C-alpha cells in the first residue's frame, strides 16, 4: 500500500520492506546503462532540508531524485533564514507555499520529520533524526545484505559500537530483524543500553561476540558529537578493545566474515585503514546501493495522500 511519508522502519511490515528491496533492483540496474535517467518523477520537486551535516545521504538523495527526473531544491540551511531564528514550522510553511512534492529532512531533534509530516501535504522522508531513526540507511543496509545473502532468515549480524547514540543501529537492527536476521550488539556496557535491545544478545567482550559467528560485523561510528559524557577511557583504548585491528581483520578474513559501516568512518577508532581495502568490506557498496534504495522510496511514496502518520519508536 502506498504511503505519504517514510519516517521509520518500525511502521513497515516485512512485506513492505521486501517490496521496497525488490523495487530497488531495477533502479540499481539503471546505473550500468549509458542513460541513467528515468522520467518517473518528471514535473515533481524534491526539497532537501538538512539541518545536520551529511555527505552520503544528502548526495545520494540528490542523485536519486535527479535520476528520476525530479527538480531538486536544496535549502542551504547555514545561508537561510534559519540563521535569523526562523522556526522549522515557519520554514516548512514557507517552502510548502512553493508546492514541494517531497521533503527530505535531517534534523538533530528526534521526531522532527514526523512533526513536519503532520503539517504538510508533501511526502516527508526522514534522512536521520537525532538518535531516533535513519530508515533509508536501514533499507540500503538490508539491500546490501540481501545481495550477499539472498536468504536472510537465520543469518547473523553483529552491530559494534555506540548503540546508545546511534539512529543507524536502531533502524538497521530493526530492518534486519524484520527480514529474519538475528542481531546482536557489542560495545562498552555504557554504550549498549538494555532499553531497545530486548530479545537481542548483548556482548561487551569482542572474543565472546566472535564465538557467536556473525555473518556480518557492522561497525558504527563513534559519535563524539552526541556524547555528553566520557563513555570509555580514550579513542585508542576503544580501538584496542572494540575496533577491527589488523590482527582481527585477518581472523575475520579467515572466517569469511563481511564488514559493513554506514560511514563516515573514524580510521584508527572503529577500524584500521586496511578494512577499506578488505575484499569482504561492503562499505562502498552500501554507498552505491543508497541511491537505488532511495529511488525505491521516492517511487513508492504518494505525496498528498494518507492519514496522519503515527508516532513510533525504533
Q: Residue numbers of the site for ligand CP (CB under 6 A)?
A: 54-58, 128, 137, 262-264
Q: Cα dihedral sign for 60, 61, 67, 71?
A: negative
Residue pair 126/171 in contact by the 8 Å Cβ criterion = no
Residue with smaller CB distance to ligand CP, 93 or 108: 108
Cell numbers 538494555 correspond to: 194
| Shortest separation between residue 33's beta carbon and ligand CP, angstroms | 26
Pairwise CA distance, residues 91 & 116, whole Å: 10
Residue with smaller CB distance to ligand CP, 76 or 151: 76
| Shortest separation between residue 61's beta carbon and ligand CP, angstroms | 9
Pairwise CA distance, residues 66 & 46, whole Å: 9
Residue with smaller CB distance to ligand CP, 110 or 204: 110
| Shortest separation between residue 144's beta carbon and ligand CP, angstroms | 12
Contacts of residue 51, defined as CB under 8 A and 6 or more positions apart, other chains included, come to 77, 82, 88, 105, 106, 107, 108, 112
H helix count then E strand count, the chain:
10, 9
| Shortest separation between residue 256's beta carbon and ligand CP, angstroms | 25
Residue pair 56/287 in contact by the 8 Å Cβ criterion = yes
Residue with smaller CB distance to ligand CP, 264 or 304: 264
Residue with smaller CB distance to ligand CP, 58 or 201: 58
| Shortest separation between residue 114's beta carbon and ligand CP, angstroms | 19
Amino acid at each position: 500500500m502506498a504511503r505519504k511519508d517514510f519516517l521509520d522502519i518500525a511502521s513497515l511490515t516485512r512485506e513492505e520492506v521486501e517490496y521496497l528491496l525488490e523495487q530497488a533492483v531495477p533502479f540499481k540496474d539503471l546505473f550500468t546503462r549509458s542513460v541513467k535517467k528515468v522520467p518517473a518523477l518528471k514535473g515533481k520537486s524534491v526539497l532537501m532540508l538538512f539541518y545536520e551535516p551529511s555527505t552520503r545521504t544528502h548526495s545520494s538523495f540528490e542523485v536519486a531524485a535527479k535520476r528520476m527526473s525530479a527538480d531538486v531544491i536544496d535549502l542551504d540551511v547555514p545561508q537561510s533564514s534559519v540563521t535569523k531564528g526562523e522556526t522549522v514550522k515557519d520554514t516548512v510553511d514557507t517552502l510548502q507555499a512553493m508546492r514541494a512534492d517531497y521533503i527530505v529532512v535531517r534534523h538533530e531533534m528526534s521526531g522532527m520529520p514526523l512533526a513536519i509530516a503532520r503539517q504538510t501535504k508533501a511526502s516527508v522522508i526522514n534522512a536521520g533524526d537525532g538518535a531516533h531513526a535513519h530508515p533509508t540507511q536501514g533499507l540500503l543496509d538490508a539491500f546490501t545484505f540481501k545481495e550477499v545473502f539472498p536468504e536472510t532468515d537465520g543469518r547473523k549480524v553483529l552491530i559494534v559500537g555506540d548503540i546508545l547514540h546511534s539512529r543507524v543501529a536502531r533502524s538497521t537492527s530493526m530492518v534486519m530483524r524484520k527480514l529474519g536476521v538475528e542481531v546482536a550488539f557489542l560495545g562498552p556496557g555504557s554504550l549498549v543500553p538494555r532499553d531497545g535491545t530486548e530479545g537481542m544478545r548483548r556482548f561487551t567482550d569482542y572474543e565472546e561476540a566472535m564465538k557467536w559467528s556473525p555473518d556480518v560485523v557492522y561497525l558504527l561510528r563513534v559519535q563524539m558529537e552526541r556524547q555528553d559524557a566520557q563513555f570509555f577511557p580514550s579513542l585508542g583504548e576503544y580501538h584496542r578493545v572494540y575496533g577491527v585491528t589488523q590482527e582481527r581483520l585477518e581472523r575475520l578474513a579467515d572466517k569469511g566474515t563481511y564488514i559493513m559501516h554506514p560511514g563516515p568512518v573514524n580510521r584508527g577508532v572503529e577500524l584500521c585503514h586496511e578494512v577499506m581495502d578488505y575484499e569482504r568490506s561492503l562499505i562502498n557498496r552500501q554507498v552505491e546501493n543508497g541511491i537505488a534504495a532511495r529511488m525505491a522510496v521516492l517511487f513508492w511514496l504518494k505525496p498528498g495522500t494518507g492519514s496522519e502518520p503515527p508516532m513510533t519508536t525504533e
